[in-house]
Structure 1
Amino acid sequence: MGVNYFETILLSIGLAMDASAVSAVNGFTEPKMKLWKILFMAFLYGAFQGFMPMIGYAAGSLVVNLFSNIIPYVALILLTYLGGKMIYDGIKGEDEENEEISNGVTIKTLLLQAVATSIDALSVGLLFSENTVLEASVQSDIIAIITFIISVGSYFVGKYFGTFLNDKAQIFGGVILILIGLKIFYDYLKNIVFN
């Protein structure tokens, strides 16, 4: 079949949107994030986003279809947990909030975000089923690279807008994470109803 690079790039941009939104949240939650951490965050998001389709490709339709019904629930639970924690931290008091922001986004949080925003990409591996392993790997690499680039850019966009939010950044960020989780879940329910 071969790799259709144009379609793969469009697919990659679509898949990167959840990671992009979460990167922006991190930008206004931790505007003074070190460069190594920004790159590590984007690397995690890209790696998970690129790796999930390969798992789907290797597992085949039976396994992916089995898990596809629980993926939206996992994403919703993880993102609601992370968003709820951010909202709680944002409203529990100015002094505590400033201390929380100075501590920044933890590596554990970045990992949970990476899983939550990429888990729905498992089913994308089924799109690669007619390709060779090498072709599927190339497509997954493109997904990872584009997610990385978009995540870095989105962090700086979030950082810029975060200056206007000031002490409300964590609350706003938490609401956005919950909305992303609800969007993933809504898309899942919409597919059930209309398919």
Structure 2
Amino acid sequence: MSIAAVLLLAVALGTDSFSLCLGIGLAGVRRAQVYLISFTVLLFHIFMPLLGWYAGEYVGSLLGRWAGYIGATVLLYLGVKMIREGLHPPEDTPRPASLHTAGLLLLAASVSMDALSVGFTLGTQRVNLLATVLTFGIVAGLMTYLGLVLGKLLGRLAGARAQLLGGLILLGIGIKLVV
């Protein structure tokens, strides 16, 4: 597999994280949250393909199906909550998004499920596994960071409607995962 193909695959894997984090960023995030979320997604995009590589097809198909539903449910919940808060804002300025440890891990796992599946196919290709998964992680981490920062900037420009827009984005992604 060429370097260009690995980079294209890494960008494709990072698009879920970018779009999801764009929605989260619209709700408002603190600088520390941007770094924490980006780093967590980076780690998951390294370890999920490794897990896929070593776990085998059976475990991946079993986890992938249920993890997809769980991830979609979390996104739907977050989307509805953000829409509700966007329609009835508790204050004039957007609040920073609240992601606790469990939510952060679910977020990172939900956007990294594709990387788990890709890990299964890496074994059939002639790739440097370590370089490939590091590339996946770095690209996903950067795309997560860009999504959060861009969402935060757009949130400031959109004002109170940013929460509503972010919720709609998350709701749409969650529905797409279920359908």
Offset from partner CA, 1:6-27 (integer Å, 9 cap, x none): 1111111011011101221232
Report the secondary structure of 1:104's partner residue.
Answer: coil
What amino acid is aligned across from residue 87 of structure 1 in structure 2?
I
Q: Which amino acid counterpart does residue 21 of structure 2 have in structure 1? A: S
Q: In the TM superposition, what is the alpha-carbon distance from 1:57 to its structure 2 partner?
A: 0.7
Q: What pairs up with 1:61-80 in 2 under 5 angstroms?
A: 61-80=57-76
The aligned counterpart of 1:42 is 38
Note the C-alpha offset of 1:86: 1.5
Asked if the contact 1:79/1:180 (under 8 Å) is kept, the reply is yes
Q: TM-score, length-normalised on structure 1?
A: 0.79
Structure 2: stretches of 5+ with no match in the other structure: none
Aligned pair partner of 2:154 in 157, 161, 172: 161
Measure, in 1, the Cα distance between the counterparts of 2:113 and 2:55.
Answer: 14
> Once the 2 structures are TM-superposed, how far is the Cα of residue 90 of structure 1 from its aligned partner?
2.4
Within 5 Å, give how 1:69-108 maps onto structure 2: 69-91=65-87, 93-94=88-89, 96-98=90-92, 101-108=94-101
Secondary structure at the aligned position of 2:149 is classed as helix
Note the C-alpha offset of 1:185: 3.1
Q: Is the 8 A contact 2:71 2:106 kept in 1?
A: no
Q: Where do 1:51-66 residues align within 5 Å? A: 51-66=47-62
Give the match's secondary structure for 2:45.
helix
Structure 1 contact 28–169 (Cα < 8 Å) conserved: yes
Q: Please, which of 103, 113, 131 is the counterpart of residue 107 of structure 2?
A: 113
- SS of equivalent to 2:95: helix
- CA displacement, residues 96-138 of structure 1 (integer Å, 9 cap, x when unaligned): 2558x43533234333321221123221111112368x92232
Q: Which has the larger radius of gyration?
A: 1
- The Cα RMSD (Å) is 2.3
Residue 45 (structure 1) shift: 1.4
CA distance in 1, matches of 2:4, 2:84: 42
Q: What amino acid sits opposite 1:38 in the alignment?
A: V
Distance between the aligned counterparts of 1:104 and 1:27, measured in 2?
8
Partner of 1:193: none
Identity over aligned pairs, percent = 28
By percentage of residues, which structure has more helix? 1
Structure 1 equivalent of residue 17 of structure 2: 19
User: Is 2:171 the partner of 1:175?
Assistant: no
